[in-house]
Amino acid sequence: MLYHLLFPLHQTYIIFNVFRYVTFRTAGAILTALLFSLLLGPILIRKLRESQIGQSIRHDGPESHLKKAGTPTMGGLLILGSIFTSTLLWANLTNRYVWLALFCAAWMGGVGFADDYVKVVGKSSKGLSVRTKLIWQMIPGLMIGVYLLYVMPVDSFTTKLAIPFFKRWMPDLGWAYVLFVALVIVGSSNAVNLTDGLDGLAIGPILMASASYTVLAYVAGHATIARYLQVIFVKGSSELTVFGGAIVGASLGFLWFNAYPAQLFMGDTGSLALGAALATMAILVKNELLLLIVGGVFVVEAISVILQVFSYRATGRRVFRMAPIHHHYELNGMAEPKIIVRFWIISFILALLSLTTLKLR
């Protein structure tokens, strides 16, 4: 909105020329989302407490979590509000990639909100059925996949798949790209959801991963830099740096209230939306598989659950004392803050590693 209102004035007032630069607007998006979160966070927490919208805790989990019962949840509303407000203020709203990212985040936020609502009303840690959630999660992925394959101009988007650490090996998925897009979005949103089990555990890696994809979006959308680094150039994708910056700012603001001991949980409203937003950025900047490295913490958390379920059904034995794996470390006596910080450190290392793939290929 600010871009459309103020940039046209640059011919009269040269100072407004800064709005043409995506880097300037990204910085504005980060600060706006951060301030929005910090200012409205206390208000949302108070309203949630008054409405008795609190977290339900699993009774078969670590005993230390029982004291967290009743902590305000649905904090994803604060995150999404910050992201949307900041993006709409600073982004070029004629850019289709921005709207695709906002659409996916909003849809998944809605699915998460419905899940949280069922939990709050039923006073249970269980929400929507797995089947129901998966169906609703698949829909935006398929819609975005179809849009990219059949609506986007052929010369502006490709169904080729970039492989990390390889320059020339780019298999073309063709029509299967639609299914691949849906898989990436569903997988990412659920992986983040599984990670959101300790105070600040999920939002830290999200912060670092979104910062990485903010850089990657700028690179992919800049013809000269993309050509120099020999990555797939996606015309217009640089505008996603504003969206990525909004996620960074919103994550910082939410972490202020979600840091141990948490005053506010993001709930499925936040975790599903953030996972989907991250996946959508990865898809639109043509670095889908790099998400496995950038979001390595989320991948390990999801794999730990899959292994636990498979092992128990096949042999009747558990691989971990409890899954996801962060609960395994808790039950082994590791303090919650130590688990959280160590996962953050791992996420930071993975974020740096992901950026090195731009040169190490």
Domains: count for the chain: 1
Give the pLDDT band of residue 19 (cuts 50, 70, 90).
confident
Alpha carbon of 119 to those of 71, 103, 111, 240: distances in Å?
13, 25, 13, 33
| Residue 309 resides in a domain | yes
Say yes or no to pLDDT of 24 above 80: yes
- In percent, the amount of the chain with pLDDT more than 90 equals 73
CB neighbours (10 Å) of residue 6?
15
| Residue 361 resides in a domain | no
Tell me the H-state helices in 147-232: 177-195, 203-221, 223-229
Q: What is the DSSP letter of 148?
A: I
HEC secondary structure over 317-334: CCCCCCCCHHHHHHHCCC
Query: Could you identify the residue written with the tokens 């996801």?
Result: 324
Contact in structure between 288 and 163 (CB atoms under 8 Å): no
* Structural domain boundaries enclosing 128: 2-356
pTM value is 0.94
| Residue 203 resides in a domain | yes
First to last CA, the chain: 39
User: Regarding predicted confidence, which is higher, 269 or 16?
Assistant: 269
Give the pLDDT band of residue 14 (cuts 50, 70, 90).
confident
| Residue 18 resides in a domain | yes
* Cα 184 to Cα 62: distance, rounded to the nearest angstrom: 31
* Cα 294 to Cα 281: distance, rounded to the nearest angstrom: 12
Query: Could you identify the residue written with the tokens 């830099």?
Result: 225
In this predicted model, what pLDDT tens digit does every residue of 200-238 receive, in sequence order?
999 999 999 999 999 999 999 999 999 998 889 999 999
| Residue 160 resides in a domain | yes
Sign of CA dihedral 294, 296, 301, 302: positive
pLDDT average, residue stretch 168-193: 94
| Residue 87 resides in a domain | yes
| Residue 290 resides in a domain | yes
Rg (the chain; Cα; Å): 20
Point out the least confidently predicted range of 64-68, 70-74, 351-355.
64-68
Buried b (16+ CB within 10 A) or exposed e, 305-335: beebeeeeeeeeeebbebbbbbbbbbeeeee
In this predicted model, what pLDDT tens digit does every residue of 311-342 receive, in sequence order?
999 998 999 999 899 999 999 999 999 999 99
pLDDT average, residue stretch 159-168: 86
Residue 360 pLDDT: 79
In this predicted model, what pLDDT tens digit does every residue of 30-65 receive, in sequence order?
999 999 999 999 999 999 988 878 676 655 556 566
Q: At CA 136, angle to CA 68 and CA 84, rounded to 5?
A: 70
Q: Which residues contact 49 (CB under 8 A, 6 or more apart)?
A: 72
Q: Which residues contact 116 (CB under 8 A, 6 or more apart)?
A: 73, 74, 76, 127, 267, 268, 269
In this predicted model, what pLDDT tens digit does every residue of 281-305 receive, in sequence order?
999 999 999 999 999 999 999 999 9
Q: What is the residue-averaged pLDDT of the chain?
A: 91
